[in-house]
Every structure is written in structure tokens, then in C-alpha cells.
Amino acid sequence: MAGAEVFSMEPDKVYDAVEALFGVEVAIRSAGDELLGECESTAEALTSGHCAIGDALDSAANFWCGGQAARLATLVGNLGEYLATAAEQTVEIDEYTSDDFARYADHELFPGRAAEQGSARPDW
């Protein structure tokens, strides 16, 4: 990503993107939690009738809601943190430091949301 010839940024627009990304992250997680609960109750009803589909459904739902979809939500959050730092620093990614992430992508800047995306930091 090095070697940029052009760099420009409107921080307000980038913050809008950050908010949208964090909104998507929350939406994926909450919809997944809700779906998982419904899958589990369906699985339970089937299992109580000795139908093997119950256990298989339970595993599949946990794989999706707690695994694959949750990891995608994490990726979206990761993007948000990156952009939050970018908006504050108005520099290219290569110039970030881990201190920047601790400072700009934390819950003081985005109340109610912990900056847990350690993987997004340049030193990860």
C-alpha cells in the first residue's frame, strides 16, 4: 500500500462510513443471536421427537451464527476501526502506530463499543 501519489480525505465522510460499518457489525451480530435462538428451539423440538435433524441443525446454526457470520461481523468492525484511525490521523495506513489505534478507535470515541479489534492494528 505504499507509494501513494495522491492522498485526500474528508474526515466527516469517513466518520459516516465508520458509523455505518459499526451499525452493520451490530446488525449482523444481533440478527445472528436471534436466529441462533430460534434454531436452537427448533432443534430441541426435533430432538425431543428422536429426529436426528435436531442435533445436526443445532451444529449448523452454531457454525453459522457463532462462527462464520460472527467472523464477518468482526471483519466489518475491523474495517471501522481502521477507518476511525484513518479519519483522525488523515494519513495513509502505513503511517499508523498501535498507539493510534488505542487512542482513536476506542470506546471514548465510539461510546458503547470497545475497541477489541486488535488484529486491525499495524503491529498485529
Partner 1 sequence: MSELNWEDLRDTDFCVMKTLAERMDTYIAGMVEQAEVLTEDVASKHLSTDHYEGDTADAVRDQVGYVADSFQDDLSIYVNVKIKATLEDAHKELAAAQQDLEELLGNIEAGKFAITGPADDHRVELSEDLLYDISELNPPSLLLSRTRFTEADLNADTGRHLVATELNHAAEDLADAFGQALTAIMTRAHEAESEAVSVLKSILDEPAAQPPPLGATYDDLIDDYQEAADDRNVDFLNELTSGDSEATPNGVNEWWNDLDQDERDALLEEYPGLLGPLDGLPAEVRNDANHVNLHNEIDSIEQQLAEMDATLDEYPYGGSFDEQEYLSLQNQLENLNSLQDRLETGEENGEDLYLLDFDSAVDGQAVVSVGNPDTADHTAVYVPGTTSDLEGIGGLVDDAAVIQGDDNDWGPAGEETAVVMWLGYDASDSAYPTHNDKINPEAWSASYAEDAREDLYNFVEGIDASHEGESHTTLMGHSCGSSVVGATARDYQVAADQIVDFGNPGLMVDTADSLSGGADSVWSTRADGDAITTAAGLSYPLGIDPVAPEFGGQTFDSEAIGDGGCSIHSGYLKDDKGADPNIAREHMVDIITGQKQ
Contacts with partner 1 by CB under 8 A lie at: 1-4, 6-10, 13-14, 16-17, 20-21, 23-24, 27-28, 31, 35, 38-39, 42, 45-46, 49-53, 56-57, 59-61, 63-64, 67-69, 71-72, 74-76, 78-79, 82-83, 86, 92-93, 117, 119-124
Q: How far is the CB of 103 from partner 1 (least distance, A)?
A: 17
CA distance 7 to 27: 32
Q: Which is nearer to partner 1, 95 or 107 (CB)?
A: 95
Q: 24, 59, 15: which is closest to 40 by C-alpha? A: 59
Closest distance to partner 1 from the beta carbon of 82 (Å): 5
For the bound state, the minimum distance from the C-beta of residue 18 to partner 1, rounded and expressed in Å, comes to 9
Q: Return the number of the residue (21 or 115) whose C-beta is nearest partner 1.
A: 21
| Burial (Cβ within 10 Å: 0-12, 13-18, ≥19) of residue 103 | middle
The CA distance from 78 to 2, in Å, is: 20
DSSP 55-77: HHHHHHHIIIIIIIHHHHHHHHH
Q: Which is nearer to partner 1, 75 or 109 (CB)?
A: 75
Rounded to a whole number of angstroms, the CA Rg of the chain reads: 19
Compute the least distance from the CB of residue 91 to partner 1, in Å.
Answer: 8
